[in-house]
Structure 1
Amino acid sequence: MAETKREIERKYDAGPGRTLPDLRGVAHVADVADQGTADLDAVYYDTADQRLAAAAITLRRRTGGLDEGWHLKLPVADGVRDEIHAPLSDTVPRALAGLVRSRVRDADLVPVVRLRSARGVRHLLDASGALLAEVCVDDVRARRLNGGRGETSWTEIEVELGESGDPALLDKVEKKLRKAGVHRSASPSKLARALAETAADGDPLAAPAAPDTGGDTAGHHVLAYLREQRTALVEWDPAVRRDVPDAVHQMRVATRRMRSAFKTYGKILDRRITDPLGEELKWLAAELGVDRDREVLTDRLTAALADVPRTLRLGPVRARLRIWSVAGRAGSRRRTLAVLDGRRYLALLDAVDALLADPPLLKAAAAPAAEALPQAIRKDFDRLAARVDHALALDPGAERDLALHEARKAAKRARYAGEAARPAIGRPAKRFARRVKAVQTVLGDHQDSVVAREALRNLAVQAHAAGESAFTWGLLYGREEAAAAARERELPQVWAKAARPKLRAALDA
């Protein structure tokens, strides 16, 4: 079973003759305990074209030390990585291979670099003996295993924050190191340094250069936005597999934004090419939605039940909701992972990359972004206006609920269009997106209530069949009806604030 820990560390070059200064007295460091020296032997794996290294991801098999085994490190922020550890084995563990599949696809993971290090370890302890940080002095020898120029060596210092450490401690330790002539490493990892120092002419590049479409053209801005969504899609994949909170939602948003951009900017990118890809993105969003929608619905019903006075909770309502949630969550989770491991998903990622490498730009792509993008956004807004007007003209009921849901989807598309145009248009696009988001929020709350009522009805039926009281589920159903009615009353006012002339004027400003 893979285990995860958050690694917060900094690396420093320790040139010839440099020694580690005495760190006692730095911040709350009361003692520096020598932990001896360990011999570490690590083989790093990557694709032949170094896709993991290009994404600042490292995958290694290491022997020696207290944590020998397989380690996968995923970047979180500067100096912060999530390290996933798996037991020692001869081949890449399946759990770790899955976490890099969105990067690797069908390419083989092969040994690329071997690092052997003599590691001197010291623990920085506070007055109570708690570990504040671990300081390692590594004498490193690196050998390239797949081409390159042989071997290289260096000495570096790592300072990793301990469980009892304050991130501010790293700044104070760094200040002490600088005074001793030790400075931050230019390489983010040992692997990055080894690859750079053993690189040969013609080393493969993991990603081709993006096509140059001109910095001020509509095509340039649309493609830049699509590349952002492609990056988000790939980067959220391992988080979804690890069941990180909100990961499914963020990955699903990336698919929706990309698909919306294909539709909104159909005069810039040829829809004969993008429509089939958009359908695949729609499929992926729907599959991810099984897990995400269950997560959101569970949170909503749990919060609603917690708000019911104890005297009105009749029967084992908490237990029934928990059983319903766990059963549904387990099934949706398995389905999500099966999708991410499937051939169709990998083919979709490849198709996205192919489109961005050779985009089907139309004549309008060469037009100035400040002219072409507002025109596309106005069309999306007119579409939203028509759907809102239609929904408001209907009587309350199932038909109106469906019309409001369609208006919600139109609001989301218009909002995404404004967000995509913000780098080119600036404040008008930001103002547009903000006003449309307010409409989307009201419509989204209404739709959440529609979905919740269906779930509550099913829970009531299950409770009744089991001989339990269905009173509490009926009470919650009534509250959801009232909440939906309140959103319907609120919509005309919110829509009036997002009046069409004002929004169009904002885009023309």
Structure 2
Amino acid sequence: MSPAAHESLEIELKFDVDAGLPAPDLSGLVPDGRVGEPQTYLLEATYYDTEDTVLAVNRTTLRRRSGGTDGGWHLKRPSTVKAARRELAVDFDEVPYDGGVPAALTEQVAAIVRTGTLVPVATITTDRTVTSVFDGDGREIAVFCEDVVSAESLLPGGGVNRWAEWEFELVDGDATILKRAKAYLKDAGARKASSTSKLARAIGSQPADVHRPALPKKPTALDLVISDLAAHRDALVAYDPLARDDAPDAVHQMRVAARKLRSILTSYPQVLAPEAAAPISEELRLLGKVLGDVRDLEVQLETNELLLARENAPEDLVAVLVDGERVRHERALKSMRFALSTHRYLTLLNDLDRLIAEPVKGPDADRPARDVAAEAVAASYKRLRKAQKGLRDHEVWSHDWVEQLHTIRKRAKAARYTAESTEALRRASLHKVGHYAKQIQTHLGVFNDTAVNRARLLAVGGNTPLSPQAHFVLGRLDAREEARGRKAVKAYRRLD
């Protein structure tokens, strides 16, 4: 995220009211509470979207607003918290206005807007009266807004609309005060809001939530595949802005979404026509690699920090294993952000949308989902078991034996993703395969992490001028990683 941008969680209630309806005395909401003196503001906002309002369809609003206490650019998006939205703000004094939307915000909606152009779609003027609500300790817990709104749609055929509404927004309160305020304001004459946002009302439509296609009672293989593709496409798009900001676990989850998308295309090769699925699968592979470069360095850095926390490590070793890895990680992040801004990536998202909306059927498309899913899981499980049996052909801890463990890990991951793609069918036998494969992937994933890290430690020791103490600590780190890896392999071998 740009240093000029700051994000918060907006939790509020919204109500329709008759114009001129007097507001109730809100001091009774909180025991021993009080309300502040009402403050009046004139807010003037311009809302931006594409001509086909793709942001609104995705329940996202982008505006430039002056007046009040928070003038600037605001991007509001859905949140996983009930009755809340994520709000990203950029102040006017942080980013000078040059006639366009700040890059700090366009990057955040790139996966939604793609090749579209952001243009003004509505202007909204609000006469707002704000009253703060304080608890018995004098802490501001909420603000109550009385709004008289005048909105003009700038879209073709748009018009002017006027209405009155109330908003009750948490500042430092909790769900209890929200629940109490909802009943309190309804008793005063407020009604459930007819629209989720001012913009939706301004442009004369109620944006619909974007859902993945629902499975029918007796789904075909195509129904299952399209439903899964849509779910993971949505996850990919949702994690895109978070990954750009390097939010915790975001790059990892975006890579998982890309991998699961590709797994569906490869696990069900006869459900979609190969000529439609194969190019997308290859692009997803490349996207996964870009995300993987960042994720692998992220894991490497976290591991090094944990290892060194238990050592009296000299500064030259910390500089290499922590400071140096941070530099490598930042470079990988920069490359990832560039990749996510290319026409190639945006085309991939468009191609995914097209495949989901207009799938090209393969020979298995109309077969029952339960039959095709069972065959796909059985095939992936068979490949996994074959790799496991192949382990017996090599001497324990030999190079070939270790390489076979890596093959088992990759096939376990494929089996897990294939089994997880069938979760909507609720078949216990398929779930059992996924659970078993996940256990294998977990244990051998730890082993793979230690192998990668030991190789990195070896390279550092051999190619970097270090003090004798640093070499001594490197040896200790390597021994600890070897022990951790052997423990993980031992846990894997106990599974059977």
Q: TM-score, normalised by structure 2?
A: 0.92
- Does 2:84 align with 1:80? yes
Pair 354,489 (structure 1): closer, same or farther in 2 beyond 3 Å: same
Aligned twin of 1:177: 185
- 2:381 maps to 381
Give the match's secondary structure for 2:365.
helix
1:362 lines up with 2:401 in the alignment: no
Deviation at 1:462, TM superposition (A): 5.8
Going from structure 1 to structure 2, the CA distance change for 1:10 and 1:211 (only over 3 Å counts) comes to closer
Q: Could you say which residue in structure 1 is the equivalent of 2:117?
A: 108
Give the equivalent residue in structure 1 for 2:225: 222
What CA distance in whole angstroms lies between the structure 2 residues aligned with 1:392 and 1:54? Answer: 55
Which stretch of structure 1 is more off in the superposition, 364-373 or 211-220? Answer: 211-220
1:375 shift after superposition: 0.8
Distance 1:484 1:212 in 2: 42
1:196 corresponds in structure 2 to 204
Structure 1 residues 126 and 425, CA gap change in structure 2 (3 angstroms): closer
- Find the partner of 2:106 among 80, 97, 100: 97
Q: Which residue of 1 aligns with 2:494?
A: 493
Structure 1 CA distance for aligned equivalents of residues 154 and 107 of structure 2: 24
Cα distance in structure 2, aligned partners of 1:8 and 1:210: 29
Per the alignment, in what secondary structure is the counterpart of residue 173 of structure 2? coil
Q: Does the alignment pair 1:372 with 2:372?
A: yes
2:294 is matched with which residue? 291
8 Å contact 1:49–1:206 — kept in the other structure? Answer: no
Structure-1 separation of matches of 2:186 and 2:347:
49
Q: Do the aligned residues in 2 keep the contact of 1:10 with 1:159 (CA within 8 Å)?
A: yes
Structure 1 residue 287, shift from structure 2 partner: 0.3
Deviation, structure 1 residue 316:
5.0
> What residue in structure 1 maps to residue 422 of structure 2?
421
Aligned ranges for residues 99-178 of structure 1 at < 5 Å? 99-162=108-171, 164-178=172-186
**1:489 to 1:418, Cα distance in 2 relative to 1, 3 A:** same
Task: Please state whether the residue corresponding to 1:470 is helix, strand or coil.
Answer: helix
Structure 2: distance between partners of 1:61 and 1:320: 45
Deviation at 1:207, TM superposition (A): 8.3
- What count of residue pairs does the alignment treat as equivalent? 486
Relative to structure 2, which stretch is displaced further, 143-152 or 462-471? Answer: 462-471
Q: Distance in 1 between matches of 2:163 and 2:294?
A: 47
Does the CA contact (< 8 Å) of 2:244 and 2:337 recur in 1? yes
Aligned partners of 2:278, 2:401: CA distance in 1, in Å? Answer: 29
Q: 1:9: Cα distance to partner?
A: 1.5
Query: Distance between the aligned counterparts of 2:354 and 2:453, measured in 1?
Result: 40
Once residues 326 and 67 of structure 1 are traced to their aligned partners in structure 2, the CA distance between those partners, rounded to angstroms, is 35
Q: What TM-score, normalized to structure 1?
A: 0.90
Once the 2 structures are TM-superposed, how far is the Cα of residue 427 of structure 1 from its aligned partner?
3.1
SS of structure 1 residue aligned to 2:147: strand
Deviations 1:58-87 (A, max 9, x none): 001111112111111121134212211123
Determine whether 1:26 maps to 2:35: no
Alignment of 1:301-380 (within 5 A): 301-308=304-311, 310=312, 313=313, 317-380=317-380
Paired with 1:2 and 1:329, the residues of 2 have a C-alpha distance of 22
Q: Which aligned segments of 4 or more residues in structure 1 are displaced greater than 6 angstroms?
A: 204-214
Q: CA deviation at 1:115?
A: 0.8
Counterpart Cα distance in 1 of 2:306 and 2:385 = 33
| Alpha-carbon distance between aligned partners in 2 of 1:183 and 1:42, rounded to the nearest angstrom | 25
| Cα distance change on mapping 1:321 and 1:127 into 2, 3 Å | farther
Q: Which sections of structure 1, spanning at least 5 residues, go unmatched?
A: 497-509
Cα deviation code 1:80-119 (max 9, x no counterpart)? 1221112332211111111111111111111111111001
Gaps of at least 5 residues in structure 2 are none
1:280 corresponds to 2:283:
yes
Is the 8 Å Cα contact of residues 45 and 66 (structure 2) preserved in structure 1?
yes
Structure 1 contact 23–29 (Cα < 8 Å) conserved? no
Counterpart position of 1:502:
none
Q: CA deviation at 1:320?
A: 4.0
Q: Output the CA distance in 1 between the equivalents of 2:279 and 2:16.
A: 51
Secondary structure of 1:119's aligned partner: strand
User: How many Å separate the matches in 2 of 1:111 and 1:206?
Assistant: 22
Q: State the AA in 1 paired with 2:385.
A: A
Q: For 1:26-66, what per-residue CA distance to the aligned partner results, in whole angstroms no more than 9, with x for missing partners?
A: 23561111241100111111111111000000001111112
SS at match of 2:364: helix
- In structure 2, the CA distance between the partners of 1:336 and 1:392, relative to structure 1 (3 Å rule), is farther
